[in-house]
Amino acid sequence: MSKVLLSTQAHSGLVSLSARERQYTSKLLAQLKEKPELGLKLWARERLYLCQTAMDTKIVYRLTGNQIHVLTIKAARDYMPPSRARISGIVLAAGKACCGDTLPVSRVTETFLAGGVDDLIVVLGHQAERVKKDLQNSDVKIIVNPDYEQGLSKSLKCGLRLVSGDTAAVVLTLGNLPFIKPEIIDRLIRIYRKEKAPIVAPTFSHRRGHPVIFDAFLMPELLRARGNVGGRDVLQHHSRELIQVEVDDAGILTDRKTIG
């Protein structure tokens, strides 16, 4: 386990944070003890790393042997305010269950655009050309996953590759859930922007459904997903930080039997 040392500037930065920012920052510093190379290595700077919390607090540190020298800790107050942060939607619609009829996919895209996402990415696979024609008049970005039969994680990675660099969070859903209401998506986005939680997910009758909002800080973890799980493992790993929003909309559930 590595030892974390704070510079005077880093200590001052930590003290200046809000109570919630300090909570997230302290948790990330504890994670660095176990995984000192968790951060993003800064270009052309040997052993210098940048890490950020779910509330966008920036931590810059240097590795020296088994010691982590934290140089600066800076809050996100100088960056884009949460109320204006870009939100990207990703619809995973590559599987056969989504494309037996293209109507569900087009309905999902209409719902997301009406729900307030800033840009929308649709991942196709099975019968991609057919579905493309159905979406040709929609304001969406389309990417085709040739390996869609290898599981949701392949489609998730395809979608994440198109996410803009200034995106604050991604909203993930499946392409075969056409009954989600736009107001549900709008509500989840508003809660994310207010609370700045790492993950926001809806529930119906205490059952978790779609879509799920992941803060952009978690994108590296989402990119490491394997198999047919999508973002499930990341959600479970951060379950204590998850905000669940109970909604009156059975359309968020994958089990169609619950929909009247």
What CATH number has the domain bearing residue 201? Answer: 3.90.550.10
What's the number of domains the chain is made of? 2
Domain co-membership, 160 together with 251:
yes
pLDDT digits (tens, 9 = 90+) for 101-125: 556 788 899 999 999 999 999 999 9
pLDDT digits (tens, 9 = 90+) for 124-163: 998 899 889 888 888 899 999 999 888 889 999 999 989 9
Average pLDDT value for residue range 217-229: 84
Quote the CA–CA distance of 242 and 208 in Å, as a whole number.
11
Residue 166 three-state SS: coil
Quote the CA–CA distance of 172 and 162 in Å, as a whole number.
13
Last residue of a domain, one of 47, 78, 109: 78
Quote the CA–CA distance of 135 and 99 in Å, as a whole number.
12
Last residue of a domain, one of 34, 55, 78: 78
Domain co-membership, 39 together with 168:
no
Domain co-membership, 98 together with 70:
no
Last residue of a domain, one of 78, 113, 134: 78
More confident: 213 or 80: 213
| DSSP secondary structure letter of residue 175 | T
The domain of 74 spans 3-78
Give me the CATH number covering residue 70.
3.30.2310.20
Domain co-membership, 179 together with 115:
yes
Quote the CA–CA distance of 216 and 196 in Å, as a whole number.
11
Domain co-membership, 115 together with 195:
yes
Quote the CA–CA distance of 6 and 69 in Å, as a whole number.
6
The type of residue at 4 is V
Domain co-membership, 90 together with 162:
yes
Sheet with 48-52, side-by-side order of all strands: 3-6, 67-74, 58-64, 48-52, 40-41
Residue 89 three-state SS: strand
* pLDDT value, residue 238: 85
Q: What's the chain's Rg over C-alpha atoms? A: 20
| DSSP secondary structure letter of residue 125 | B
Domain co-membership, 58 together with 113:
no
Domain co-membership, 183 together with 250:
yes
**Range in 16-25, 81-90, 104-113, 201-210 the model is least confident about:** 81-90
Quote the CA–CA distance of 76 and 70 in Å, as a whole number.
17
* pLDDT value, residue 77: 57
- 3-state helix/strand/coil string of 85-105: CEEEEEEEECCHHHHCCCHHH
Mean pLDDT, rounded, of the chain: 85
Domain co-membership, 73 together with 87:
no
Domain co-membership, 41 together with 154:
no
Going by their DSSP bridges, the two strands 40-41 and 3-6 should be labelled as unpaired
Domain co-membership, 86 together with 66:
no
Domain co-membership, 140 together with 220:
yes
Contacts of 119 (CB under 8 A, 6+ apart): 86, 88, 89, 141, 164
